Chain A
Amino acid sequence: MTKTPQQEELASREYKYGFVTDIETEAFPRGLSEAIVALISERKQEPAWMRDWRLKAYRHWTTMTEPHWPNFHYGPIDYQALAYYSAPKKKTDGPKNLDEVDKELLETFERLGIPLTEQKRLTGVAVDAVFDSVSVATTHQSELAKQGIIFCSMTEAISHHPELVKKYLGSVVPSTDNFFAALNSAVFSDGSFCYIPKGVRCPLELSTYFRINSADSGQFERTLIVAEDDSYVSYLEGCTAPSRDKNQLHAAVVELIALNNAEIKYSTVQNWYPGDKEGKGGIYNFVTKRGKCIGVNSKISWTQVEAGAAITWKYPSVILQGDNSIGKFYSVALTNNRMQADTGTKMIHIGKNTKSTIISKGISTDHSNNNYRGLVKILPSADGARNFSQCDSMLVGNNCSANTFPYIEVKNPTAVMEHEASTSKISAEQVFYLKSRGLDMEESVSLIINGFCKEVFKELPLEFSVEAVKLLEMKLEGSVG
């Protein structure tokens, strides 16, 4: 494929969020041992039960081996070479309000387009910003508190709401769940905690913004969202990291709990640094995300736009335990250059009349490798379960690959499930039509791809939807034509 000079220029456009913020961080020894785990706990001034929980997870982790079944390749990770804690150095005991937050840090978030200052409340989004491993600022807290909503960093939650954390932490993703979840349980440094009380419809979109800044540190954050009976919350998550030559590990855990009639909507726009054109550097995004519809009529929906990270390996799942509960998964995964993605979902139907929908769109360009892997499991107790899955892949260029591995396990004869998938390229007829209308190649392709992903984008909250479209356009610049 020959590229015009303009396309060349576009293709070499750099990762917009690749800058490094020169900020003083607390030094922390590298490596991993029980002492390190205890040290993390100590630095965070955690109660004893939390430290013991971490140590238990660490001990289990040492008995596990790193899994290698996914359909991608990466070099060995040296877990002893990583620093497991990195926090912006605090001047005093920690900022009491935004004025005390490091100015440079605020500027960083400004540059990322994340409004942390409360004057910008017009945006209607409450933000918890996580810089390296530590939550630096949470906005709109007081407003949310009026309704009884708790939205704070995990560290705060552990000290202020230990009963809730004790009850729910690890109830969906146990610390023994898998290799990376165990690692996260042992060393997680911060994250967001969100609790919506009974009957409350959260008035704002809650949002967490993750940023990895330090080199040679892994990021291990933990998010826990609990929606009590009859409540509703929409939660957004965004991620970026500086461009570095070395691969960095991001192993997060997200747990969602929906009780009777509750609804949780979780949206992610993931744009970690994907490495350069030759595949050097970039984030390894090995994340465990799982939601549990415990109550009847509860609903959890995952919407994700995966456009970054050298390797994305995650399967946001829903355990449909309550009768009539609903699980949804909408995903767009775009891979370019040498990116690799093995992503999809798991829908586990346990309760009666449970329903799940899976819409997955994969776009693969350049030398990338894009995999959909999903599991729909209908257990014998799930009478009248219903599933619809659709996973479409689009290939742009002949050096990429797209694979689909759907697992469907039905153990109940009253279940109805449909699965469909397709793989194709952008049709020449469609491009010709658009070009004949005066659009250039790039605009045509962008339009077609937007149409391809529309079903997923329309599930995103408005601001994110716009961001996602832009992100996709930016990523595709120069790689098509």
Chain B
Amino acid sequence: MVTQTEKLNSLITDYFEKEQKLGAQLPEWMKELRQQGLSRFNELGIPTIKNEEWKYTNLSSLAERKFYIPEPQPFKELGELHEYLDPAEINVVFVNGDFHPKLSNLTDLPKGVSIVNLTTASAPGIQPFETHIREYQQKFSDPFAALNDAITHGGVLVKIDEKTVLKRLIHIVHVTCVPKENAILSPRTLIVLGKSAQAEVLETYMSCTPVGYFTNALTDIFLEENSVLRYTKAQNEGRQAYHIGTTRIFQKRDSLSENFSMTTGGMLTRNNLMIILENSGANTFLNGLYAVQGEQHVDNHTCVDHQAPNATSNQYYKGILNGNSHAVFNGKIFVKRIAQQTNSYQLNKNLLLGKGARVDTKPQLEIFADDVKCTHGATIGQLNEDELFYLETRGIHRELAVRMLCRGFVDDILNRISNPSVVAKLNKMLAPSFETFK
């Protein structure tokens, strides 16, 4: 046992101590999950740049750190939260990686919607999904999903029953306010939409502390037949934070997912978005925006796995890079042999503003079926001098002209989100970045 946990022990110093304290009261299925995650992580360890999946994102500074698991936060009003939360929406609040029902407004949930702590959710209700995920875990050697499993002691289950159409936005907020540096947080979210259900979810990550910490988030989403989910993830953590987030979406027949991922914060961000189109007729949109500056590093890895015929996927990621920031994009499209009549598109556009900015992009296609239409593209460039000149001739100051053109670049992608409340929230997070554009 001791030798087996070496890798985790060297990363998280107080793992064993916390393990005993937290592990005792957890439900059986979660204990099992933790055990599996532990052995899986010890098998895989923190990847190095020799690993093809991590070629452009160097985690050596993370691997050198010694993390601790923060104590569960007692109930405390967080003033900072109010400006982010709209009482008309369903707010689900996580503090330091733990779900806080008291800070959330879950009292008058519409019929067919349940939002509960994963530990209190009934085992038969969760197990089928968990088993499904386990099978996938074995296929993709993702050490960070395993790490989340190993540490998890809760999280939230959002369940939308069959034929329920939820109009209100579910806003899941992850706030970090740890007093001392090197905390590791493992928020976990499970979203399940029943047949023909519809919902919109926004997950935001923010911090009210300037210290460095590590968020290792995991979100699993199951879309049953004919369901529709609009899912947005916004990461606006502190500039000292590591953020590694894994989102896995399993889609059944004729389901639709519209995903948006925005990154503005964090020192080192890695978003893993995996979409598994299990049955025919499943459609997905993956849109993303990153606006980074200074020494920020953002890495978006997407993977669309076409396992069945007649499914479509559409990917569009845009990024603005200022200062010495570094962006990585790796989009993978797999088309299985039986997945005929697949349509799959992928585009990544990068705007370089900063002198030291760097982009590594790798759009990748792996296709085993012949009756398909798959395209991918990537561009890297600067603002058009002619366009800037035109604006300047109209009496617009250069700085403003740059911002106007950047606005246009960003709006092109932001306007793909239909919910105005989500767009407003994202724009608010983008505002500080815009001030640095010149």
Contact = CB atoms under 8 A, between A and B. Distances in A.
Contact of A401 (B357, B361, B366): B366
Contacts of B404: none
A423 B362 contact: no
Interface residues of B, number: 36
A402 B364 CA distance: 11
Interface stretch (A22-30, A227-235, A280-288, A409-417): A409-417
A417 B366 CA distance: 23
Contact of B382 (A406, A409, A414): A414
B370 A421 contact: no
Given A398-B370, A408-B359, A420 B382 contact: no
Contacts of A424: 372-374
Contacts of A402: 365, 367
Interface in A417-459: 417-425
B377 interface: yes
Nearest to A386: B381
B379 interface: yes
Interface in A225-245: none
B44 interface: no
A348 interface: no
Contacts of A401: 366-368
A424 B382 CA distance: 31
Interface string B345-388: 00000101111111111111111111111111111111000000
B364 A417 contact: no
Contacts of B361: 408, 410, 419
Contact of A404 (B340, B359, B365): B365
A410 B374 CA distance: 25
Given A410-B358, A411-B358, A413-B354, A419 B365 contact: no
Nearest to B344: A423
Contacts of B369: 395, 398
Most buried by A among B352, B364, B375, B378: B378
Given A395-B370, A404-B376, A424-B373, A419 B363 contact: yes
A417 B377 contact: no
Contacts of B366: 401, 403-404
B51 to A, nearest CB: 12
B337 interface: yes
B377 A407 contact: no
Nearest to B375: A422
Q: Is the interface of B mostly helix, strand, loop or mixed?
A: strand
Nearest to B377: A420
Most buried by B among A403, A407, A408, A422: A408
A398 B371 contact: yes
A397 interface: yes
A400 interface: yes
A413 B357 contact: yes
A418 B379 contact: yes
A397 B370 CA distance: 6
Contacts of A403: 364-367
A393 interface: yes
Contacts of A423: 365, 367, 372-375
A177 B211 CA distance: 44
B378 A419 contact: yes
A182 interface: no
Interface string B318-351: 0001000000000000000100100000000010
A367 to B, nearest CB: 11
Contacts of A19: none
A480 to B, nearest CB: 11
B352 A413 contact: yes
B376 A416 contact: no
B385 to A, nearest CB: 11
Contact of A405 (B364, B378, B382): B364
A421 B377 contact: yes
B363 to A, nearest CB: 6
Contacts of B374: 422-424
Nearest to A389: B378
A106 interface: no
A396 interface: yes
Contacts of B353: 413
A423 B358 CA distance: 28
B438 to A, nearest CB: 14
Most buried by B among A413, A414, A416: A413
A408 B370 contact: no
Contacts of A395: 367, 369-370, 372
A79 to B, nearest CB: 25
Contacts of B352: 410, 413-415
Contacts of A396: 370
Contact of A408 (B362, B367, B382): B362
B375 A398 contact: no
Nearest to B378: A419
A390 B362 CA distance: 14
Given A413-B382, A416-B381, A407 B376 contact: no
Nearest to B356: A413
A404 B364 contact: yes
A404 B340 CA distance: 18
Contact of A425 (B56, B363, B370, B382): B370
A422 B343 CA distance: 11
A393 B376 CA distance: 12
Given A398-B337, A398-B370, A407 B354 contact: no
A417 B380 contact: yes
Interface string A161-172: 000000000000
Contact of B359 (A405, A406, A410, A422): A410
Nearest to B362: A407
A398 B336 CA distance: 10
Contacts of B368: 400-401
A411 B254 CA distance: 42
Contacts of A393: 365, 367
Given A395-B370, A410-B359, A425-B372, A418 B365 contact: no
A397 B321 CA distance: 43
A423 to B, nearest CB: 4
Nearest to B357: A413
A425 B367 contact: no
Contacts of B373: 422-424
B291 to A, nearest CB: 15
Contacts of A422: 373-376
B340 A418 contact: no
Given A398-B337, A410-B380, A405 B362 contact: yes
Nearest to A409: B360
A393 B353 CA distance: 34
Interface in A351-405: 393, 395-405
A5 B55 CA distance: 51
A166 to B, nearest CB: 36
A417 B379 contact: yes
Contacts of A415: 352, 380-381
Instruction: List 7 A-B pairs, minimum CB-CB distance, nearest first.
Output: A395-B370, A413-B352, A420-B377, A422-B375, A423-B374, A404-B365, A419-B378
Given A401-B366, A405-B364, 5 more contacts: A404-B365, A407-B362, A417-B378, A418-B379, A421-B363
Interface of B: 56, 321, 337, 340, 350, 352-382
28 contacts: A393-B367, A401-B367, A403-B365, A403-B366, A404-B363, A404-B365, A406-B378, A407-B360, A408-B378, A409-B358, A409-B359, A409-B360, A410-B359, A413-B321, A415-B352, A415-B381, A416-B381, A417-B378, A418-B379, A419-B361, A419-B377, A420-B376, A421-B365, A421-B377, A423-B372, A423-B374, A424-B373, A424-B374
Interface of A: 393, 395-411, 413-425
